[in-house]
Structure 1
Amino acid sequence: MGNPAISLDVAAAEDHLMRFLSVEGVTGQEAAIAAAVSDALRKAGVPASAIRFDDAHKRIPVPTETGNLIVDLPGTRPGPRLLFSTHLDTVPLCAGAKPRRDGDRIVGDGTTALGGDDRTGCAVLVILAETLLKHDLPHPPITLLFTVREESGLHGARELDPADLGGALMCINVDGQDPNDLIVGAVGQENWEVEIVGKASHSGVAPEKGISATLVGAVALAEAQREGWFGKVVKAGDRGTSNVGIFGGKDGKAAGDATNVVTDYVYIKGEARSPTLAFATAIAKGFEQAFQKARNEVKDHEGEIAAVTFTHKPSYPPFNLDETTPVVRRATKAMTMLGLEPNYVFSNGGLDANWLDKHGVPTVTIGAGQAEIHTVKEYVNLPEFAMGCRLALLLSTIED
């Protein structure tokens, strides 16, 4: 089972993984892990001249330490350029992670998440380059992409300049668990936010003179739920999901200052997802209508109402590749050669693949053992990690 021409040093791959898991690099603070990955690539034989950073961080609207890490490996045989991608950052819950080996797993200490999402991908791409160079394996031109701020909005992939990818025609993104799963599509997301400006008043002396921004928000969300826009959304053959993530005040503070004051300001932020961006937008507009209706229902004693400012914009586009797409065919062939049974998956979560596809590089996402991600129970399944490494190696070397 597998390609006998490819020899994977499993111990070396696991060493890379343990090292990367030990380097803190939460979203937006990727400089240290980028340096660790760069150092590992140089030690693997990748020339320093082939390792570079772009300036995507200068276009990301929130502070970000470094740009995307990009590595160019010249081909040793003709063929279309391949792109392999993963992300450098972890969720904040991974700060202070202490990885350790426990049987066929790598686990944390139970107080933080581990960071297998996506240090597994970082290790896969490094062992890929190391193995190709060590064994002088024939392969087409390859670009390795390590993005920043994936966990906080796919920013690195979004702000990437496609010209930096060297004309890659297809991409394999490493960001999943089960190597049998092949993610070929994902939903798009629309973000929305609303500011509600009411009027403060003493809630005991003259509550009728106030306009409660809290009440406007509560009535609006109840209205959205009644109209079928909250949670799982199915309307006229379209489907999607929505959520309200933030209900607070200014600058991350609580909505309101005291129980004896009618709340004069509330900020609410939510999202809508769907396989079609048009329906994600429709969900956001459903929430907008609910807030406008609630605005007219909450008045002071003189009939004045709150000011409501609602805005929404796309966060990332959906995509969906069919089984005839060259990158899907390539992945299917490699998986079959390894004895895997391809399970074509459409994800309800966004991936760097959403933006890479938008940039003109059809992208599939493969798994490499990350499990229970974004929780203190997170672990890496080492047999699945090794299979992810083998799959990436085979994808880099097989011929169409």
Structure 2
Amino acid sequence: MSVDTAAATDRLMRFLAVPGVTGQEKAIGREIMAALKQAGVPARAMRLDDANTRIPLPTETGNLIVELPGRGSQHNQPRMMFMTHMDTVPLCAGAQPKIAGRKIVNQARTALGGDNRCGCGILVTLAAELVRQKLDHPPITLLFCVREESGLYGARHVDTDDLGGPEMAFNFDGSSASSVTIGAVGADRWEVEIFGRASHAGVAPERGISATMILALALADVKAGGWFGKVVKGKGKDARQGTSNVGPVTGGEGRPAGDATNVVTDYVHVRGECRSHDAKFIREITKAYKAAFEKAARQVTNSEGKSGRVKFKAETDYHPFRMKDTLPVVKRATAAVTDIGATPTLRAGNGGLDANWMVRHGIPTVTFGTGQNEPHTIDEWINLDEYDRACALAVRLATMG
């Protein structure tokens, strides 16, 4: 497909230069709307929803929704949606993008933000090319989500009635444009409060109940049981697989775990996650963590025979999904990749995507890469050849009969 790649790159550089870490998407939202207006999309076609009022974390703005009416011979065809997310991880704050040959690199010691300003550039380029070339296409909704990086919250809390009833969707987030992601893992996010008893560690340590020791015993038990890191239970084709991780360990918001070396630690707060393509196995991994913490709390007692206690909470962060190869959205995706001269590769991802929630909402959604490389690291860079292919792919997806 013919795409003005120079203009597409200019848009990407423009978006990369605008701060917008997760939860703080107001400025990048304004920039995207300005770029859409410059491309010929009328202001009346754009609006911000109120998803931010339902997100349990402070969020400056809602999702950006843009509705493009159908044109020409396809104007009465079923609506489709193209989506991405506006936010970046906090490590991207202060990025200084620079073009180096066919790459965009970073002059600052931060992440670059290609995840997912590349997706933003692709969707705006799609709208610009549809207007510039007066291409026939069905009604299209563009969705720019907030807070993807901190929990897929924008996609989770979007009101599907605001989307115009798309029959299928295409999400842009990842590396290779020819990678057709039709499934992804689900995840539980858990947290545990460990309650011990403080005591002077030099004068009367036996009177204390160490929350730190409860944590240590629980994690040792989890590791010994094979529930930490890469988790595989069973053998051969019947093996169940997943992952788990223990994240922040604190004494509460903004506090260390423990007050001093001479005080038995009476409180520890821990957060973690469990993932798998199998929803039942996610729950089994989470259950193993809960059992380990409860067992450890019973094991740590003081001289009075009192033990520690734990309060374990878990919730589904996002649900796993796997779409059938025969679905119309998958067939359209693979045909479009072939049409731009690439070879489609169907895959299931091990990370959560906004597509997880779109599929949960009843909108079958395929995800493509955008040219991102080494995201969430200071070594991040963008492959402009792949970005250009993704722009061409978006136009082809929107216009093929």
Matches within 5 A, 1:172-251: 172-236=170-234, 237-251=239-253
Matches within 5 A, 1:198-347: 198-236=196-234, 237-347=239-349
Cα distance in 2 for residues equivalent to 1:212 and 1:134 = 67
* Aligned residue-pair number: 394
Cα distance in 1 for residues equivalent to 2:397 and 2:208 = 64
Identify unmatched segments of 5+ residues in structure 2: none
What is the Cα deviation at residue 252 of structure 1? 2.9
Show CA shifts across 1:259-295 (max 9, x none): 0000000001110001122211111110000011111
> Does the residue aligned with 2:174 lie in a helix, a strand or coil?
coil
Cα distance in 2 for residues equivalent to 1:23 and 1:101 = 16
> Does the residue aligned with 2:253 lie in a helix, a strand or coil?
helix
Cα distance in 2 for residues equivalent to 1:331 and 1:278 = 29
Counterpart residue number, 2:40: 45
Show CA shifts across 1:282-310 (max 9, x none): 11110000011111111001110012111
Cα distance in 2 for residues equivalent to 1:180 and 1:137 = 23
Report the residue type matching 1:240 in the other structure.
Answer: G
Calculate the aligned-residue CA RMSD, in Å: 0.8
Cα distance in 2 for residues equivalent to 1:242 and 1:192 = 11
Cα distance in 2 for residues equivalent to 1:373 and 1:276 = 26
Cα distance in 2 for residues equivalent to 1:162 and 1:22 = 31
Cα distance in 1 for residues equivalent to 2:278 and 2:315 = 14
Cα distance in 2 for residues equivalent to 1:188 and 1:307 = 29
Cα distance in 2 for residues equivalent to 1:308 and 1:255 = 15
Counterpart residue number, 1:96: 94
Counterpart residue number, 2:52: 57
Identify the match of residue 7 of structure 1 among 2, 13, 18: 2
Identify unmatched segments of 5+ residues in structure 1: 1-5
Identify the match of residue 62 of structure 2 among 42, 63, 67: 67
Cα distance in 1 for residues equivalent to 2:130 and 2:178 = 23
Counterpart residue number, 1:396: 398
Show CA shifts across 1:295-350 (max 9, x none): 11110011100121111110111111121011110010011111211111111100
> Does the residue aligned with 1:250 lie in a helix, a strand or coil?
coil
Contact residue 84 and residue 142 of structure 1 kept, 8 A: yes
Contact residue 190 and residue 277 of structure 1 kept, 8 A: no
Show CA shifts across 1:26-72 (max 9, x none): 00000000000000101111111100010000000000000000000
Question: Percent identical across equivalent pairs?
Answer: 56
Cα distance in 1 for residues equivalent to 2:42 and 2:385 = 31
Contact residue 294 and residue 309 of structure 2 kept, 8 A: no
What is the Cα deviation at residue 7 of structure 1? 2.1
Instruction: Return the TM-score normalized by structure 2.
Output: 0.97
> Does the residue aligned with 1:252 lie in a helix, a strand or coil?
coil
Report the residue type matching 1:142 in the other structure.
Answer: I
Instruction: Return the TM-score normalized by structure 1.
Output: 0.97
Contact residue 22 and residue 146 of structure 2 kept, 8 A: yes
Cα distance in 1 for residues equivalent to 2:255 and 2:279 = 32
Show CA shifts across 1:342-380 (max 9, x none): 111111100000001101110011111011100001011
> Does the residue aligned with 1:332 lie in a helix, a strand or coil?
helix
Counterpart residue number, 1:146: 144
Show CA shifts across 1:72-107 (max 9, x none): 000012311110000000000000100011111011
Contact residue 178 and residue 384 of structure 1 kept, 8 A: yes
Report the residue type matching 2:62 in the other structure.
Answer: G
Deviation beyond 4 Å, 4+ runs, structure 1: none
Counterpart residue number, 1:3: none
Counterpart residue number, 2:30: 35
What is the Cα deviation at residue 179 of structure 1? 1.3
Cα distance in 1 for residues equivalent to 2:323 and 2:335 = 16
Report the residue type matching 1:230 in the other structure.
Answer: F
Counterpart residue number, 2:155: 157
Report the residue type matching 1:67 in the other structure.
Answer: G
Cα distance in 2 for residues equivalent to 1:7 and 1:347 = 30
